[in-house]
């Protein structure tokens, strides 16, 4: 239908995206090609021969009564690209008019137009928000409203990302979307009054205590370590992460800096750095990892009551990790004199793309933190330069979510800004 011009005669709006280029490094295809690839990806979820490819998607697909509604959402999700304004909102109105003309039921019209309008929502939240924060899950649950809509949106999101660029999909994105899906589904199915912060910490400690006994760790030693930890340590780290930390501490060592790495269940390599905290530690750590040409996707920055740094930097799997001893490299580099920030060179600039920097601040009431979002063109040294600014301005970093979208990076930082009187 598309090849012979039938599709654009049947849906005039489709003709406006036929052959439409998207001038960035995120989208590898024209809008019409991308749309047809989304349809192909959605169809595979319903075909038994591909049931092992994306098992959760195939499982969800088996319970969908009207798959045609999902396919229509895929067909229209980018239909308003190139018109200016919010293409998702404009596309929702276009598909609403199309379905009304074809006498679809009101519920089905609302469902499809809602999927088109919010087709970017799940990806944005998964990659830019703290999924361990219950308020984030609650807000997303209020937006999707039902498990059925959540399931359809999950399938559309995965089909959309995989049809954007060949190497855009990875295990890290898969793990984030699954985490958001399961947490939101549980919230929609079993809504209860959320526990207070103290009660959640208490529950987490009780579960951890059982795990410590099961793994035969020294209870007295672990209690001393855990006593120094702030409350959010028990909320931001999973039990298996904390056990990993404790097992590292159980080994005798005279090193002032300890570094360990492991392949996490999320398909990324976690690099854990423990030692005395000091101003500029995060900046030095990021600079070292950037020099190794590793891609950072996440960072957890935490300082204990006795001023010990518990920093976890997650990087994408790379063959370079097999060629170097990253633990020894980081330990050695951190023990050296302060590194010099690498200024961003013009040779890394993508001269054919918009270089506008977007910076936005917001306030996180729950954690009493400032949230900073930075959207900038991707160049070597961007993250270390941002970290150097934090270092210069005496800004304490608590958490970071690093995301690269084609030629741009969209990073989110949670900060404590200290005001020092001179």
- Per-residue pLDDT tens over the stretch 163-202: 887 777 888 889 899 999 999 998 888 765 666 777 888 8
pLDDT reported for residue 343? 53
Q: What percent of the chain has pLDDT above 70?
A: 88
3-class SS at 254? coil
Q: What percent of the chain has pLDDT above 90?
A: 27
pLDDT reported for residue 148? 95
| Stretch (H or E) spanning 371 | strand 369-377
Average pLDDT on 207-234 reads 89
- Cα–Cα dist 66/76, whole Å: 17
Average pLDDT on 247-267 reads 80
In contact, 160 and 255? CB cutoff 8 Å: no
Q: What are the CA-CA distances from residue 159 to residues 86, 90, 178 (Å)?
A: 21, 21, 14
pLDDT reported for residue 184? 93
Q: Among 186, 192, 180, 227, which residue's Cα sits nearest to residue 208?
A: 227
- Cα–Cα dist 386/413, whole Å: 10
CA diameter of the chain: 75
How would DSSP label each residue in 135-186? Answer: HHHHHHHHHH-SHHHHHHHHHHHHHHHHTT-TTT--HHHHHHHHHHHHHHHH
pLDDT reported for residue 348? 45
Extract the tokens encoding 159. Answer: 């089909």
Buried residues in 363-396 as b, exposed as e (16+ CB within 10 A): ebeebebbbbebbbbbbebbbbbbbbebbeeebb
Domains, the chain: 6-189 (1.10.3210), 253-417 (3.40.1020)
- Cα–Cα dist 225/305, whole Å: 10
How would DSSP label each residue in 199-232? Answer: HHHHHHHHHHHHHHHHTT--HHHHHHHHHTS-TT
- Residue 122 burial class via C-beta count within 10 angstroms: exposed 0-12, middle 13-18, buried 19 and up: buried
Residue 227, C-beta contacts closer than 8 angstroms, at least 6 positions apart: 305
- Cα–Cα dist 117/46, whole Å: 24
Residue 68, C-beta contacts closer than 8 angstroms, at least 6 positions apart: none
**What integer best gives the mean pLDDT of the chain?**
83
In contact, 61 and 45? CB cutoff 8 Å: yes
Extract the tokens encoding 266. Answer: 């999320």
pLDDT reported for residue 419? 52
3-class SS at 407? coil
pLDDT reported for residue 422? 46
With a cut of 70, say whether residue 418 has pLDDT above it: no
Of 100-114, 148-162, 246-260, give the lowest mean pLDDT range: 246-260
| pLDDT confidence bin for 282, thresholds 50/70/90 | confident
Which has more confidence, 242 or 192?
Answer: 242
How would DSSP label each residue in 330-364? Answer: HHHHHTSSPPPPPPPPGGG--TTS----EEEEEEE
pLDDT reported for residue 94? 93
pLDDT one-digit tens code per residue, 36-92: 999 999 999 999 888 888 999 999 999 999 999 999 999 999 898 888 878 999 999
- Evaluated on CA atoms 247, 253, 254, 260, the torsion sign reads negative
Residue 187, C-beta contacts closer than 8 angstroms, at least 6 positions apart: 137, 138, 141
Which has more confidence, 342 or 281?
Answer: 281
pLDDT one-digit tens code per residue, 378-399: 777 788 888 888 888 888 887 7
Bridge-partner residues for 371, per DSSP?
A: 362, 414
Average pLDDT on 282-306 reads 84
pLDDT one-digit tens code per residue, 354-386: 567 889 888 877 667 888 888 887 777 788 888
With a cut of 80, say whether residue 323 has pLDDT above it: no
The whole model's pTM is what?
0.81
With a cut of 90, say whether residue 340 has pLDDT above it: no
With a cut of 70, say whether residue 352 has pLDDT above it: no
In contact, 157 and 177? CB cutoff 8 Å: yes
pLDDT reported for residue 26? 56
Average pLDDT on 110-119 reads 95
């Amino acid at each position: 239908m598309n090849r012979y011009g039938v599709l654009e005669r049947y849906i005039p709006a489709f003709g406006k995206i036929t052959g439409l280029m998207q001038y960035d490094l995120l989208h590898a295809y024209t809008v019409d090609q991308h749309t047809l690839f989304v349809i192909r990806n959605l169809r595979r979820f319903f075909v038994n021969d591909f049931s092992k490819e994306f098992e959760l998607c195939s499982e969800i697909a088996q319970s969908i009564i009207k798959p045609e509604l999902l396919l229509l959402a895929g067909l229209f999700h980018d239909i308003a690209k190139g018109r200016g304004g919010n293409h998702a909102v404009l596309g929702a109105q276009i598909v609403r008019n199309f379905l009304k003309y074809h006498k679809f039921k009101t519920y089905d019209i609302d469902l499809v137009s809602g999927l088109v309008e919010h087709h970017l929502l799940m990806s944005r939240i998964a990659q830019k928000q703290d999924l361990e924060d219950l308020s984030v899950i609650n807000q997303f649950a209020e937006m999707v409203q039902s498990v059925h809509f959540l399931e359809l949106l999950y399938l559309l999101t995965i089909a959309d990302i995989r049809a954007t660029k060949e190497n855009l999909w990875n295990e890290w994105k898969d793990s984030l979307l699954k985490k958001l899906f399961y947490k939101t589904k549980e919230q929609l199915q079993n809504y209860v009054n959320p526990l207070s912060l103290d009660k959640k910490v208490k529950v987490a400690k009780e579960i951890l205590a059982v795990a410590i006994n099961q793994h035969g760790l020294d209870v007295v030693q672990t209690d001393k370590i855990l006593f120094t930890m702030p409350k959010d340590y028990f909320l931001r780290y999973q039990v298996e992460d904390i056990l990993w930390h404790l097992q590292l501490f159980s080994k005798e060592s005279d090193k002032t800096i300890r570094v360990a790495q492991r392949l996490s269940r999320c398909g990324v390599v976690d690099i854990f750095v423990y030692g005395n905290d000091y101003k500029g530690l995060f900046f030095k750590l990021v600079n070292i990892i950037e020099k190794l040409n590793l891609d950072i996707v996440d960072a957890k920055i935490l300082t204990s009551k006795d001023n010990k740094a518990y920093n976890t930097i997650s990087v994408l799997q790379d063959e370079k990790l097999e060629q170097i001893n990253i633990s020894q490299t980081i330990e050695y580099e951190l023990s050296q004199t302060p590194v010099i920030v690498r200024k961003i060179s013009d040779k890394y600039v993508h001269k054919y793309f918009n270089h506008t920097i977007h910076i936005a601040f917001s306030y996180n009431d729950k954690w009493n933190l400032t949230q900073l979002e930075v959207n900038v063109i991707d160049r070597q040294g961007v993250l270390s330069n941002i970290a150097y600014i934090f270092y210069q301005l005496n800004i304490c970093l608590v958490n970071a979510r690093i995301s690269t979208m084609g030629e741009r990076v969209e990073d989110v930082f949670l900060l404590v800004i200290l005001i020092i009187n001179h």
